[in-house]
Amino acid sequence: MRKINVVESVLQANDALARENRERMTRADLLAVNLMSAPGSGKTTLLEKTLPALAPEHACAVLVGDLQTTRDAERLGNLAAAVTQINTGQGCHLDAAQVAEGLRSLELADVDFLFIENVGNLVCPAAFDLGEHQRVVLLSTPEGDDKVAKYPTLFQLADAILLTKVDLLEVLEYNIGRVRDDLSRINTRAPLIELSSHSGQGLTEWLTWLRDQYAARGNAPGDRSAGTASSRARE
Amino acid sequence: MRKINVVESVLQANDALARENRERMTRADLLAVNLMSAPGSGKTTLLEKTLPALAPEHACAVLVGDLQTTRDAERLGNLAAAVTQINTGQGCHLDAAQVAEGLRSLELADVDFLFIENVGNLVCPAAFDLGEHQRVVLLSTPEGDDKVAKYPTLFQLADAILLTKVDLLEVLEYNIGRVRDDLSRINTRAPLIELSSHSGQGLTEWLTWLRDQYAARGNAPGDRSAGTASSRARE
């Protein structure tokens, strides 16, 4: 049982740090959004559209997780008040300690939205609470319409699900009904937003969702730390 | 250091089992191919094209790894002599013990090609040798042309790299030169095969590569177990 004990203690230590992150960010009156998806689902491209749209009213910051390279941070560098790259080496997900370190690079009091772009991985980020307030999972249409049923853990945790690259639907064999049907069995809480960063479809709906979460952020701070998030690894 | 010691011992135990798997499969005179990629890169669809093409001359078997569902195994059920689904639950990759269990479901002496379809994940499968003879990594064009540099570990290990869904290149902004340039720095050994299971482009080249590896399988059995594979987790 030694291995399992160690894994449990790693997750418990992560959850404790995540709670601290969440309290810090809640006190700073910002909304932290954890973006998760398989590699190449369009997280960075979505941020390239989202940051300029929010910029007139809101200060945004980004923590970008990648195994290697600073390419994503470079793409976003001019679009946000602050962008920090976190390189995980061979690490398959961000953890709360890395985010805590990233937060030290930011003036949290000046930030309204903090986007945390997780490592591209549809499995491992599910077990690691980072202290975010909202979890957004992207699913791109070219990945196929069977992914919700095949990778349910992450979709179960999502507060919003973005079906990205819908501009490619005309050249793909894709059944959105199948995605909705699979979601009806595991997550009926999260809206499914059909989106294309390329054509602009769905961006208004996404921005409205973000602004609604920001407006509601003072209503129930800390709910998540006592509920789903801290127990997510053991569900 | 306790955590790291445990991780090391898990990997060492995996490597020992992987060597046993490889010896068993080498003795049975079959070629085992580990297919790895991000979710939705087209592993199952490729097998739907590959298995019927090999069937006239060769007996094929498949071990299919997924967190949940038996959808992939159902898709392949009628196309191979034997298909075994391995459900990993929340596990983000196959390991050698799961493959050893899967091998017990097969009559290895009757198999020429064993395809092991790993869990869709561009990070974690890199650390776990399964006992395969050849490692094939798929990269689908809609994932973007920056993935080799961002997820180098798996691409470094590849014996062949398949650029899939190239039929979508006409509707994507994609620079294959960037992929080749990134590969030139980390893996000049593996061929890059441009492939579309939809249009058929590249399938002949892929099948030729497979048949060449099969023909060469008796030449240097076990090389991999003493070299790259057993040390891959610590590279």
Q: Decide if B1 touches A, using CB distance below 8 A.
A: no
Beta-bridge partner residues of B137: B36, B161
Q: Average pLDDT over chain A, rounded to whole?
A: 91
3-class SS of residue B138:
strand
Q: Can you list the domains of chain B with their CATH numbers?
A: 2-218 (3.40.50.300)
Which pLDDT score, from 0 to 100, does residue B130 have? Answer: 98
Conformational region of residue B111, where left means phi above 0, alpha means psi within -120 to 50, and beta covers everything else: beta
Q: Decide if A188 touches B, using CB distance below 8 A.
A: no
Partners of A119 on chain B (C-beta within 8 Å) are 123
Indicate if the pLDDT at residue A84 is higher than 80.
yes
Q: Decide if B113 touches A, using CB distance below 8 A.
A: no
What gap in Å lies between CA A77 and CA A41, rounded to an integer? 20
Partners of A90 on chain B (C-beta within 8 Å) are 123, 126-127, 153
Q: Tell me the H-state helices in chain B.
A: 2-27, 43-54, 71-76, 96-103, 147-150, 152-157, 176-186, 203-216, 223-226, 228-231
Q: Count CB-CB contacts under 10 A for residue B78.
A: 9
Q: How remote is the C-alpha of B91 from its chain's centroid?
A: 17
Partners of B153 on chain A (C-beta within 8 Å) are 67, 90
Contact B122 A121 (CB under 8 A): yes
What gap in Å lies between CA A24 and CA A200, rounded to an integer? 34
Q: Give phi and psi for A136, each to the nearest 5.
A: -120, 125
pLDDT tens track for A41-57: 999 999 999 999 999 99
Indicate if the pLDDT at residue A14 is higher than 90.
yes
Which pLDDT score, from 0 to 100, does residue A10 have? Answer: 84
Which pLDDT score, from 0 to 100, does residue B235 have? Answer: 33
3-class SS of residue B31:
strand
Contact B152 A92 (CB under 8 A): no
Which pLDDT score, from 0 to 100, does residue A176 have? Answer: 97
State the pLDDT confidence band at A217, using cuts at 50, 70 and 90: confident
State the pLDDT confidence band at A9, using cuts at 50, 70 and 90: confident
Contact A6 B10 (CB under 8 A): no
Which of B3, B68, B151 lies nearest to residue A6, judging by beta carbons? B3
- In Å, how far is A151's CA from the nearest CA of chain B? 6
- In Å, how far is B152's CA from the nearest CA of chain A? 8
Q: Decide if A186 touches B, using CB distance below 8 A.
A: no
Contact B121 A120 (CB under 8 A): no
- In Å, how far is B120's CA from the nearest CA of chain A? 8
Q: Give phi and psi for A164, each to the nearest 5.
A: -95, 170
Interface predicted TM-score of the whole assembly (ipTM), two decimals: 0.88
Tokens, residue A220: 């129930």
Which uninterrupted H or E stretch holds A27? Answer: helix A2-27
What gap in Å lies between CA A19 and CA A138, rounded to an integer? 24
Which pLDDT score, from 0 to 100, does residue A64 have? Answer: 96
- The answer to which of A168-172, A214-218, B49-53, B179-183 has the lowest mean pLDDT is A214-218
Give the CA count within 13 Å in the CB-facing half-sphere of A189: 10
Q: Give phi and psi for B116, each to the nearest 5.
A: -110, 105
Q: Decide if B197 touches A, using CB distance below 8 A.
A: no
Which pLDDT score, from 0 to 100, does residue A233 have? Answer: 39
Which pLDDT score, from 0 to 100, does residue A219 have? Answer: 56
Indicate if the pLDDT at residue A171 is higher than 90.
yes
Which pLDDT score, from 0 to 100, does residue A228 have? Answer: 41
Q: Is A71 exposed, middle or buried (0-12, 13-18, 19+ CB in 10 A)?
A: middle
Give the CA count within 13 Å in the CB-facing half-sphere of A228: 15
Contact B90 A150 (CB under 8 A): no
Task: Tell me how far apart the 2 most distant CA atoms of chain B are, in Å.
Answer: 54
Beta-bridge partner residues of B33: B115, B134
Contact B40 A142 (CB under 8 A): yes
Which of A3, A72, A92 lies nearest to residue B123, judging by beta carbons? A92
Q: Count CB-CB contacts under 10 A for residue B201.
A: 14
What gap in Å lies between CA A183 and CA A185, rounded to an integer? 5
Indicate if the pLDDT at residue A40 is higher than 70.
yes
Q: Decide if A168 touches B, using CB distance below 8 A.
A: yes
| Residues of chain B predicted below pLDDT 50 | 1-2, 220-235
Q: Decide if A43 touches B, using CB distance below 8 A.
A: no
Tokens, residue A160: 């919003």
Partners of B123 on chain A (C-beta within 8 Å) are 67, 90, 92, 119, 121, 124
What gap in Å lies between CA B24 and CA B19, rounded to an integer? 9
Q: Decide if A117 touches B, using CB distance below 8 A.
A: no
Q: Are A42 and A138 in contact (CB under 8 A)?
A: yes
